[in-house]
């Protein structure tokens, strides 16, 4: 895809020219099936991040609930304060340092304001082990699904402030943070784009029922309307009891094409992310510049 003439009908000026291409960066989105066993989950996460780094990934995303997906009471037992953390965060910081990559902890159980609540936080840790950004999940998944699945996140989770739009600088470019159910609320992604995001993180634990019908559609829609890369790490498989996640960790380009996907089992999808693709799409189809509601993208 090539750039078209700017919307004013004049040839592009020097300031409007497509930037000099930067080297693509390999990015990996992890898929795993976390359960109530914290130690097992962390070992799997460590192995997959290390393998992805050995495969050339410089940015690796872990899914929502990567450290623990089990009975509600267990969240309260493992939650740690942020950004200082505790033994779980220390282990994740060491993983980033030893692997030499940016790691996004897709859903980290953070200690809440109340003793009976936690927060679901997306945490960016850089290759030095430094916490660079923390996003607290805004939209909580409270549903009774047709298959009998009932999930009430608000019973044990505090929602994050609704005015968050957290964009963090990574080796692959400016990354906007979100978590799972957030993907159904496009206004969050508009705000992230307005803050300069060129990539969007959507770590998730999508249920099988919703995932088979909505996962690909929603992620592709967010990529198309935001004209960003979408990086979606995922839980996949049976966790405990009747809780089953859809899987299909994937990377979607700014045109809405799925360029890498891991369907089933533990593993990761890896793709070469090129930020010039964002600029090409935004110039060829300047929908963001044509916005009439809200603040135009910069």
Q: Is 35 helix (H, G, I), strand (E, B) or coil?
A: coil
Q: What pLDDT does residue 232 have?
A: 98
Q: What pLDDT does residue 147 have?
A: 67
Half-sphere exposure of residue 3, counting CA atoms within 13 Å on the CB side? 17
Is the pLDDT reported for residue 190 higher than 80?
A: yes
Start-to-end CA span in the chain (Å): 22
Is the pLDDT reported for residue 273 higher than 90?
A: yes
43-47, 95-99, 209-213: which has the minimum mean pLDDT?
Answer: 209-213
8-17, 72-81, 116-125, 197-206: which has the minimum mean pLDDT?
Answer: 8-17
Q: Which two tokens stand for residue 112?
A: 């809440």
What average pLDDT score do residues 79-97 get? Answer: 97
Is the pLDDT reported for residue 9 higher than 60?
A: no
Question: Which tops the pLDDT comparison, 251 or 143?
Answer: 251
Residue 206's contacts (CB-CB under 8 Å, 6 or more residues apart) are 180, 214, 215, 234, 235, 245, 246
C-alpha to C-alpha distance for 45 and 34, rounded to whole angstroms: 9
C-alpha to C-alpha distance for 64 and 86, rounded to whole angstroms: 18
Residue whose C-alpha is closest to residue 215's, from 253, 263, 268: 263
Which stretch of DSSP H or E encloses residue 262? strand 258-262
What average pLDDT score do residues 67-71 get? Answer: 92
Tens-place pLDDT, residues 161-174: 999 999 999 999 99
> In the chain, where are the structural domains located?
24-290
Is the pLDDT reported for residue 17 higher than 50?
A: no
Q: What angle do CA 150, 152, 157 make, to 5 degrees?
A: 155
Residue 161's contacts (CB-CB under 8 Å, 6 or more residues apart) are 136, 138
Is the pLDDT reported for residue 158 higher than 60?
A: yes
In the block, residue with structure tokens 């990354």: 175
pTM of the model: 0.90
Catalytic positions, written as ranges: 64, 137, 180
The pLDDT mean for the chain works out to: 90
Note the CATH number of domain 24-290: 3.60.110.10
DSSP summary character for residue 139? S
């Amino acid at each position: 895809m090539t750039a078209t003439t700017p919307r004013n009908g004049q040839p592009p000026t020097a300031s409007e020219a497509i930037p000099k291409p930067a080297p693509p960066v390999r990015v990996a989105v992890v898929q795993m099936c976390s359960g109530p066993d914290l130690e097992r989950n962390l070992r799997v996460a460590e192995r997959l991040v290390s393998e992805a780094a050995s495969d050339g990934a410089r940015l690796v995303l872990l899914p929502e609930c990567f450290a623990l997906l089990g009975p509600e009471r267990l969240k309260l037992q493992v939650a740690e304060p942020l950004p200082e953390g505790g033994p779980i965060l220390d282990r994740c910081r060491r993983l980033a340092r030893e692997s030499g990559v940016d790691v996004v902890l897709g859903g980290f159980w953070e200690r809440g304001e109340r003793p009976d609540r936690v927060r679901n936080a997306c945490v960016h840790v850089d290759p030095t082990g430094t916490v660079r950004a923390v996003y607290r999940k805004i939209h909580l998944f409270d549903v009774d699904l047709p298959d009998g699945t009932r999930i009430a996140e608000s019973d044990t989770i505090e929602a994050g402030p609704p005015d968050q739009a957290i964009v963090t600088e990574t080796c692959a470019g400016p990354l906007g943070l979100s978590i799972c159910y957030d993907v159904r609320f496009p206004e969050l992604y508009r705000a992230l784009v307005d803050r300069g995001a060129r990539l969007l993180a959507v770590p998730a634990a999508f249920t099988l029922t919703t995932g088979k019908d909505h996962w690909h559609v929603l992620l592709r829609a967010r990529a198309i309307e935001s004209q960003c890369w979408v990086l979606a790490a995922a839980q996949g498989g049976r966790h405990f009891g009747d809780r089953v996640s859809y899987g299909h960790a994937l990377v979607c380009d700014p045109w809405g094409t799925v360029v890498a996907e891991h369907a089933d089992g533990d593993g990761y999808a890896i793709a070469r992310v090129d930020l010039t693709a964002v600029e090409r799409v935004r110039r060829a189809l300047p929908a963001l510049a044509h916005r009439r509601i809200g603040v135009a993208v910069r």
